[in-house]
Every structure is written in structure tokens, then in C-alpha cells.
Structure 1
Amino acid sequence: MTQKLDNLQAALEAVLGGKIKRLQRELGELTITVAAADYLEVARTLRDHEALKFEQLMDLCGLDYSTYKDGQYDGPRFCVVSHLLSLTKNWRLRLKVFAPDDDLPVLASITEIWNSANWFEREAFDLYGIIFDGHLDLRRLLTDYGFIGHPFRKDFPTWGNVEMRYDEEQKRVIYQPVTIEPREIVPRVIREDNYGGLH
């Protein structure tokens, strides 16, 4: 396993060079981070270069780093992580890219490189609000079309903004403001006098 990772790391460094902003090797896996401006070109190189041959995109997801390390993280808020597989070389890679603007997170779409990115990018758009420039059908995937906000963002209220219910009079589903009062649940700890044999 170590020799395979050594070979992959050497190939990545030789082919991508300075386009790799960070290379991390942990738990028998490699993760590279690239700049948003290089993302599309790096993705295409990872797929097409003879030394790499990452033919398959296994997964793509969004991340919100706003509360990472209890808010001590100092960097871009939104990240997209892709998991790649080379069937030819029998190795895997994690590719990370951060959106440069926290207020309007935009990254290039990689659907032209791996068409399996289509629904993954729609999911990241729906849940995190990350916009994928060049995606031909970027619309909500998991939430309702009338949904407001992005529910996986760390600042989205856990109780939501609206609720829906079936209205018997109107004979249709309607939206209304949330009727649940937000409250913090603190578990009640009960200790017996002789708990654990301690006196």
C-alpha cells in the first residue's frame, strides 16, 4: 500500500506540479487541494493524463467550514470534495477545492469531464448553495422547488423557516411559518445515591 501511495504521489507531483496547493497523506489515502481557478483543468488532467487515468468520479459533496475547529478556522467557508477512482491504475484520490467567495460560492462544473457529477453538483447546490458554473441543469434536487435557503449550511436554523401541511379546505398542500418553538434540549442526568458503587 505504501509503495502504491508513493507512486501516486510522485505521479501527481510530476504531472500537476505547482497546481497542487496542498497534498495531504493520512490513513492510507491521498488528498490534494487545488485553487478554484485551476479546478477544471486539474480535473481534466486527472482523468486524461496517462500517468493518472482517474476515469471515474465516485462521489462529490459540499462542505461548510464556518464552524470548523469551533470557529477558529481562518479560510474560505465552502468546499467541494470529489472522490476519484482509477480503474486502470487501481488507485483512489480525494480532490478538494474551495470557493473563493463566501457570499456567492461559485466553482466550475465538472459534468463535462465526469457526467456522474450532474446530480452530485445539484445536491451540493441545493443543500449548500454552491453554484456550479457551466452546469446545464442546476436546480434543486432534494428540497422542494419553493424551499428557501440551503439546509446543510451551518447557519440554517435546525427547525427550518417554513413548514408545509395539507389544508382540507383548500384541498392542497400549503406553506406556513414554523409553528414549533425553538428550544434547547438539555438531557436530565439522574444519579442514584450508590451509583457505580461510589459513596
Structure 2
Amino acid sequence: MTQKLDTLEAALQAAFGDTLKSTVRALGEITLTVPAAAYAATMLRLRGDPTLKFEQLIDLCGVDYSDYKNQPWDGPRYAVVSHLLSVTHNWRVRVRAFAPDDDLPALPSVNEIWSSANWFEREAFDLYGIIFEGHLDLRRILTDYGFIGHPMRKDFPVTGNVEMRYDAEKKRVIYQPVTVEPREVVPRVVREDNYGGLTH
């Protein structure tokens, strides 16, 4: 395993040199951090270069780094993380690219490189609000069409913003502000001194 990672790391270094922001090797995996401006070209080369040949995109997701590990985060807030597999060389790599603008996070789509990116990018758009430039069908995939916001962002309200219900009088589905009442989340055992006849 170590020799294979050495070979992969050498191939990545030969292909990209100093264009990568960082290459981290930990827990038997290599993670590349790519500048946003070089993201599309890097992904294209990872697939097409015969010394790398990452034919498959296994996963692509969004990440909100605000309050990362319960610590203040100094840097761009949103990133896209992809997991690639080379069947030819039997190795994997993780690629991370940060969106440069926190107010309107955007990165190029890799759907033209790997068709499997289609729904992954739609999911990252829906849940994190990351725009994938060049994606031909970028619309919500998990939430409702009238949904407001992006629920995996760390500042999204736990109860949401609106709820949907069927109104029998209007005979249609309506949207209204959330009516969920906050509830006690501390177990009874902790909040009641005499719960179950126990005394402290």
C-alpha cells in the first residue's frame, strides 16, 4: 500500500507540480487541494493523463467549513470534495476545491468529464447552495421546489423556514411559516430529581 501511494504521489507531483495548493497524505489516502481557477483543468487531467487515469468519479459533495471542528475557520467557507477511482491503476484520490466567494459559492461543473457528477452536483447545489457553472440541469433534487434556503449550511435554522400542508378549504397545498414548538431536549432523568422514585 505504501509503495502504491508513493507511486501515485510521484505521478501527481509530475503532472501538476506547484499548481496544487496542497497534497496531504494521511490514513492511507491522498487529498489534493486545488485552486478554484484550476479546478476544471485539474479534473480533466486527472481523468485523461495515462499516468493517472481516474476513470470514475465515485462521489462529489459540498462542505460548509464555517465553525469547522467547533473552531473559527479562516478561509473560504464552501468547498467541493470529490473522490476519484482509477480502475486501471487501482488507486484513489480525494480532490478538494474551495469556492472563492462565500456569498455566491461557484465552481465549474465536472459533469462533462464524468456523467456521474450530474446528481452529485445537483445535491451540493440543493443542500449547500454551491453553483456549478456549465451544469445543464442545475435544480433542486432533494428538497421541494418552493423550499427556501439550503439545509446543510451550518447557519440554516434547525426547524427550517416554511412548512407545507394541505388546506381542505382551499383544496390545495399551501406554504406557511413553521409552526413547530421548541421542545425540551434534556432527558427526564436529568431534569427531574424524583423521576422513577429515585432520590439524589
Q: Considering the TM-score relative to the shorter chain, is it more than 0.5?
A: yes
Cα drift, residue 84 of structure 1: 0.2
- Residue 96 (structure 1) aligned with residue 96 (structure 2): yes
Deviations 1:81-105 (A, max 9, x none): 0000001000000000000010110
Identity %: 70
Q: Provide the residue aligned with 2:77 in structure 1.
A: 77
Normalised TM-score (structure 1): 0.92
> Structure 1 residue runs of 4+, over 3 Å off?
187-192
Q: Where do residues 53-68 of structure 1 align in structure 2 (5 Å cutoff)?
A: 53-68=53-68
Cα-Cα RMSD: 1.5
Q: Provide the residue aligned with 2:46 in structure 1.
A: 46
Quick one: structure 1 residues 82 and 143, their matched pair in 2 at CA, closer, same or farther if it must change by over 3 Å? same
Which AA in structure 2 matches 1:130? I
Per mean C-alpha deviation after superposition, the further-off stretch among 163-172 and 6-15 is 163-172
Q: Provide the residue aligned with 1:109 in structure 2.
A: 109
Give me the whole-angstrom Cα distance separating, in 1, the residues matched to 2:186 and 2:141: 34
Give me the whole-angstrom Cα distance separating, in 2, the residues matched to 1:27 and 1:149: 35
Deviations 1:63-95 (A, max 9, x none): 000110324221110000000000100000000
Q: Provide the residue aligned with 1:24 in structure 2.
A: 24
* Number of aligned residues: 192
Is the partner of 1:30 in helix, strand or coil? strand
Q: Where do residues 158-173 of structure 1 align in structure 2 (5 Å cutoff)?
A: 158-173=158-173
Give me the whole-angstrom Cα distance separating, in 2, the residues matched to 1:24 and 1:182: 43
Which AA in structure 1 matches 2:65? Y
Give me the whole-angstrom Cα distance separating, in 1, the residues matched to 2:184 and 2:121: 33
Give me the whole-angstrom Cα distance separating, in 2, the residues matched to 1:130 and 1:90: 31
Which AA in structure 2 matches 1:53? K
Per mean C-alpha deviation after superposition, the further-off stretch among 65-74 and 40-49 is 65-74
Cα drift, residue 184 of structure 1: 6.0
Is the partner of 2:139 in helix, strand or coil? coil
Unpaired runs of 5+ residues, structure 1, are 193-199
Q: Provide the residue aligned with 2:8 in structure 1.
A: 8
Give me the whole-angstrom Cα distance separating, in 2, the residues matched to 1:36 and 1:164: 37
Which AA in structure 2 matches 1:9? E
Normalised TM-score (structure 2): 0.92
Unpaired runs of 5+ residues, structure 2, are 194-200
Which AA in structure 1 matches 2:18? G
Cα drift, residue 26 of structure 1: 1.0
Cα drift, residue 157 of structure 1: 0.3
Which AA in structure 1 matches 2:109? S
Cα drift, residue 189 of structure 1: 4.5
Which AA in structure 2 matches 1:114? W
Per mean C-alpha deviation after superposition, the further-off stretch among 160-169 and 43-52 is 160-169
Which AA in structure 1 matches 2:4? K
